[in-house]
């Protein structure tokens, strides 16, 4: 049982999807804690209608129902800042689930403050990362908040036991639909869709082709390459092929383009913060394009040492997001540095998309540090004195020469 005192809980804000798990949680909270439940449903681009959650919540006697369109805030204030750092976890994961959790935690706390709720609740299990992300975020934003995590308290352990609970407690659930539901545990937002469970729990087994929802396989992608141009301003994409777009519009369009060209599928085994390894498959078409393009525009606009320092710090930054520390002072400190580095990351990147590949074919910027006069293999008209390299090399070799003189051979 949770350390939360049941008698102190009069009202709880629940992160509510309207699905099986959170429908059970509504009734469980009402009966276990005898409290009023406020539901909060976030539209962060999961690709499903969120408005039906209102009718489901009303049918369960919920009086205060929040359904918020957070798509623009999600991309503008969370996804874009993350991509300014070229963030990737363990070399492959673009953190699609991880980056959505701090926004949901923030809104849970805001609604708790607005409604005078005593606690917040979520449907994350006791085995995963999301419980950590939700709760670290909530505690950072509201230190005294009480958190109720039903999966750590109840004895319901499977979809079958959840459905039995629904029948016993007259919870309105489409049982026929539940039986036809995908065998995978999925999470979707504007950045990605993830798949876990079922056959994916066997690391040797290949994911079934009909599992994927956002992208065609590279084999089925068009035989003709697609060229696109992305315009950048201070590290963020502001237009595609010259057409200005909002952050959410940019990611929506790139998902559509990338998915149609077989881009963005990954199959990885990652190290969860709680200690176990877990296998997941991810579709991140737009994010895969964004990562490649952002590195391309930085390649001509960033100073060498700034670029290298960003690359050194990125794994730490990625781990902070993956482990739920978005609201930590160290992440905010790193973000300030990262954002400062993007002042001159402006220009256009040209990409060729072909059968799962994102190929950079051009980049240009008024703030480019690429000097054609110096870089040329032709006559540079004295822009670079090649004789200067001799002293540069000898000075850098000095310690090596001294060590060799002492017979300290490598």
Q: What is the mean pLDDT of residues 192-210?
A: 96
Choose the catalytic residue: 185, 299, 319, 328: 185
The CATH number given to 188-302+344-364 is 3.90.1260.10
Is pLDDT above 60 for 177? no
Answer for the pair 120, 109: CB distance below 8 angstroms, yes or no. yes
Cα–Cα distance, 378 to 375 (Å, whole number): 9
Q: Which residue in 2, 21, 267, 295 is the catalytic one?
A: 21
Q: What is the pLDDT of residue 31?
A: 92
Q: Torsion angle of alpha carbons 131, 133, 134, 138, nearest 10°?
A: 130
Which of 294, 312, 262, 282 has the alpha carbon at shortest distance from 93?
282
* Residue 17 annotated to the active site: no
**How much is the mean pLDDT over the chain?**
94
**pLDDT bucket at 79, cuts 50 / 70 / 90:** very high
The DSSP bridge partners found for residue 43 are: 69
For the chain, the residue count is 410
pLDDT attached to residue 8: 84
Please state the rounded mean pLDDT for residues 328-351. 98
CA gap 16, 57 in Å, rounded: 9
Is 21 annotated in the active site?
yes
Rounded CA separation 41/17 (Å): 6
SS3 (DSSP) at 362: strand
Give the integer Cα–Cα distance in Å for 380 and 377. Answer: 8
Q: Are 47 and 256 in contact (CB under 8 A)?
A: no
Catalytic residue status for 130? yes
* Within this chain, domains 6-70+97-181 and 188-302+344-364 share the same CATH topology: no
Give Rg (Cα) of the chain: 25
What is the helix (H) or strand (E) element at residue 276, kind and residue range? none
| Active-site residue flag, 76 | no
Per-residue pLDDT band for 293 (boundaries 50, 70, 90) equals very high
| Residue 371's pLDDT band (cuts 50, 70, 90) | very high
Q: Which one of 84, 101, 265, 331 is the catalytic residue? A: 101
Place of tokens 């670290």: 136
Helix runs in 142-273, H state only:
159-168, 175-180, 247-260
Q: Please, are residues 212 and 260 in contact by the beta-carbon 8 Å criterion?
A: no
Cα end-to-end span (Å), the chain: 61
Dihedral sign for Cα atoms in the order 163, 165, 167, 170:
negative
Mean pLDDT computed over 345-354? 98
Give the β-pairing of 65-69 and 36-43: parallel
Among 43, 118, 130, 236, the one annotated catalytic: 130
pTM assigned to the model = 0.94
Average pLDDT for residues 160-174, to the nearest whole number? 86
Q: Tell me: the pLDDT tens digits for 121-137? A: 999 999 999 999 999 99
> What's the CATH superfamily of 6-70+97-181?
HUPs (3.40.50.620)
> Which has the minimum average pLDDT: 58-62, 111-115, 187-191, 342-346?
58-62
CA 83, CA 101: separation in Å to the nearest integer?
16
Please state, for a pLDDT cut of 70, what percent of the chain lies above it. 97
Q: So what's the pLDDT on residue 324? A: 98
DSSP 102-145: HHHHHHHHHHHHHHT-SEEE----TTSSHHHHHHHHHHHH-TT-
Rounded Cα gap, residues 193 and 147, in angstroms: 27
Burial class (CB in 10 A: 0-12, 13-18, 19+), 129: buried
The string of DSSP letters for 199-211 reads: GGGSTTSPPPGGG
Rounded CA-CA distance 74/168 in Å is 38
- Is residue 68 within a helix (H) or strand (E), and if so which, with residue range? strand 65-69
Instruction: Give the chain's largest Cα–Cα span.
Output: 86
Q: Name the nearest CA neighbour of 254 among 301, 209, 287, 299.
A: 287
Tell me the pLDDT band of 47, cut-offs 50, 70 and 90: confident
Give the SS3 label for residue 307. helix
């Amino acid at each position: 049982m949770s350390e939360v005192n049941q008698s102190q809980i009069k009202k709880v804000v629940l992160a509510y999807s309207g699905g099986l798990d959170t429908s059970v949680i509504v009734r469980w909270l009402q009966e276990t804690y005898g409290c009023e439940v406020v539901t909060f449903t976030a539209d962060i681009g999961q690709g499903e209608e969120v408005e039906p959650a209102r009718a489901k919540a009303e049918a369960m006697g919920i009086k205060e129902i929040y359904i918020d369109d957070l798509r623009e805030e999600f991309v503008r204030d969370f996804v874009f800042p993350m991509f300014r750092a070229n963030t990737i976890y363990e070399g492959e994961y673009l953190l699609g689930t991880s980056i959505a959790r701090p926004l949901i935690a923030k809104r849970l706390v805001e609604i708790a403050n607005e409604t005078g709720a005593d606690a917040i609740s979520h449907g994350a299990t006791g085995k995963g990362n999301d419980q950590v992300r939700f709760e670290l975020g909530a505690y950072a934003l509201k230190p005294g908040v009480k958190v109720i995590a039903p999966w750590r308290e109840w004895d319901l352990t499977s979809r079958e036991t959840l459905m039995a609970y629904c029948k016993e407690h007259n919870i309105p659930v489409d049982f026929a639909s539940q039986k036809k539901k995908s065998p995978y545990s999925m999470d979707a937002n504007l950045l990605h869709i993830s798949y876990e469970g079922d056959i994916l729990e066997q690391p040797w087994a290949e994911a079934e082709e009909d599992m994927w929802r956002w992208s065609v396989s590279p084999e089925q992608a068009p035989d003709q390459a697609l060229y696109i141009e992305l315009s950048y301003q201070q590290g963020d994409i502001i237009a595609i092929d010259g057409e200005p777009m909002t952050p959410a519009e940019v990611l929506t369009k790139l998902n559509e383009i990338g998915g149609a060209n077989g881009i963005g599928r990954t199959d990885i085994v990652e190290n969860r913060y709680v200690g176990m390894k877990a296998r997941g498959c991810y579709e991140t078409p737009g994010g895969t394009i964004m990562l490649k393009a952002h590195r391309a525009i930085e390649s001509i606009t960033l100073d060498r040492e700034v670029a290298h320092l960003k690359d050194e710090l990125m794994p730490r930054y990625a781990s902070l997001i993956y482990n739920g520390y978005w609201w930590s002072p160290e992440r905010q400190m790193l973000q300030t540095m990262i954002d400062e580095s993007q002042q001159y990351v402006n220009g256009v990147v040209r990409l060729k998309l072909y059968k799962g590949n994102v190929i950079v074919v051009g980049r240009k910027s008024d703030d480019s540090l690429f000097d054609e006069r110096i870089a040329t293999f032709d006559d540079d008209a004295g822009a670079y004195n090649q004789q200067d390299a001799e002293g540069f090399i000898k000075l850098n070799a000095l310690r090596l020469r001294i060590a060799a003189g002492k017979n300290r051979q490598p």
